[in-house]
Amino acid sequence: GVAKHYPVKKGLLFARQVGAVRAVDGVSFALHRGETLALVGESGCGKSTTARLVMRLIEPSSGDVIFKGENVTNVGGAKLRALRRHLQIVFQDPYASLNPRLTVADAIAEPMTVHGIGDAASRRERVQELLRLTGLRPFHADRYPHEFSGGQRQRIGIARALAVEPEVVVCDEPVSALDVSIQAQVVNLLGDLQQRLGLSYLFIAHDLAVVKHVADRVAVMYLGRIVEVAAKHELFSNPRHPYTRALLAAIPRPDPSRRGSVTPLGGDLPSPLAVPPGCRFHTRCPVAQAKCKELDPPLREIAPGHTAACHFAEDLPRFNAEADGGVA
Ligand code: SF4
Ligand code: MG
């Protein structure tokens, strides 16, 4: 039930609150040990804010964050620092996230220094181990980020995230800024590392194409809410929310002449400052009914392990994966 609302004020001297940006508007999900849960939605839907709430980088307006059975919503000080060690993040932009003045070795060692792990010699050794683990070379340690390609920089970002042996890694669109030819390499590396180190990933993406190769389960987000969650195969073959279907229909297909019956999404994402009443998707939903403008559909279980927030989830026609999308 986590929410993040930003108050909007009017007036300078006697500012009064006139509204709120509902960036994240009551989101619940679980990330299981060792799995990859993909969080997918258009830019501006609240995915990154959700990630930052999970990592306790920002404070929720309401709701709780539970880590291994412990409510960590209000922990601070040393406890928060200890928690942060278990939760690390790989950012979208490996160019912006690395300090250009630090050598690769220093960039990777920095989280260990921050968390007071080891001495200079043992950190140096650990850096070499992390370079090997992420497919970089020993001599890369003394170079600077600008000497590397985008893919290599993302490897450095991953090595840095892994330096403090986290249990959960939030991957915030880790391949969106990379060339398509490099994306698969980084995705494969993340998969290998997960296997070896038993990591749990919250993998954020703005479309379903990338997610197809990495996720165990997928949560689809729309305008601050999760609208559907299912195991990957189930979500791609039997999507039950019209928004998920539109996202699937938007995946480019090898043979564009085989057009399906689902219309790709038109219109813009409404502002989180003015969330539509009723079902928040009704302004763009091709199958909206009168009821949808008034009643907000809760996220409910429609089959074991499959939840959707649509009044008509069960009534939608069968999804034709071949014609309507979901085929890589
Ligand atoms: Fe569309 Fe109505 Fe379902 Fe919302 S509840 S997704 S508007 S059919
Ligand atoms: Mg983002």
Structure-token pair, residue 101: 């003045």
| CB-based contact 29:2 (threshold 8 Å) | no
Residue 257 has a pLDDT of 63
Which residues are within 8 A (CB) of 97 and not within 5 positions of it... i.e. 6 or more apart? Answer: 91, 157
**Predicted local distance difference test score (pLDDT) of residue 328:** 42
Number of domains in the chain: 2
Percent of the residues in the chain that have a pLDDT greater than 90, as a whole number: 77
Residues 94 and 195 in one domain: yes
130 located within any domain:
yes
Q: CA–CA separation, 192 vs 244, rounded Å?
A: 28
Residues 61 and 186 reside in one and the same domain: yes
| CA 281 – CA 288 distance, rounded (Å) | 9
Q: What is the ipTM score, two decimals? A: 0.96
Note whether 144 and 83 are same-domain residues: yes
- How does pLDDT run across 105-144, given as a tens digit for each residue? 999 999 999 999 999 999 999 999 999 999 999 999 999 9
pLDDT interval class at 207 (50, 70, 90) = confident
Residue 268 backbone phi and psi in degrees, to 5: -95, 155
282 C-beta closer than 6 A to ligand 1: yes
- Pinpoint the alpha helices (H) of the chain: 47-54, 77-86, 104-114, 120-133, 150-162, 180-197, 208-214, 232-237, 242-249, 321-324
d(CA 279, CA 262): 20
What pTM was estimated for this model as a whole?
0.93
296: nearest Cα among 317, 278, 276: 278
Q: Same domain, yes or no, for 193 and 102?
A: yes
Report the alpha-carbon angle 315-321-326, nearest 5.
115
Percentage of the chain beyond pLDDT 70 is 95
Per-residue pLDDT at 161: 96
> Is 99 a member of any domain?
yes
199 and 249 co-located in one domain = no
pLDDT tens-digit readout, 30-74: 999 999 999 999 988 999 999 999 999 999 999 999 999 999 999
In this prediction, residue 16 carries a pLDDT of 84
CATH of the domain at 163: 3.40.50.300
Choose which residue among 310, 315, 316 to substitute to test ligand 1 binding: the one with the highest number of ligand atoms within 8 A of its C-beta.
310
Integer Cα distance of 58 and 80 in angstroms: 12
Instruction: Please check whether residues 164 and 120 belong to one and the same domain.
Output: yes
Q: Which ligand is nearest to the CA of 298?
A: 1
pLDDT tens-digit map of 165-190: 999 999 999 998 898 889 999 999 99
Q: Calculate the CA 46 to chain-centre distance.
A: 9
Tell whether ligand 1 has an atom less than 6 A from the beta carbon of residue 312: yes
Please work out whether the CB of residue 292 comes within 6 Å of at least one atom of ligand 1: yes
Ligand 2 mean position, distance from CA 216 (Å): 21
Question: Residue 279: CB within 6 Å of ligand 1?
Answer: yes
Q: State which of 197, 215, 233 marks the end of a domain.
A: 215
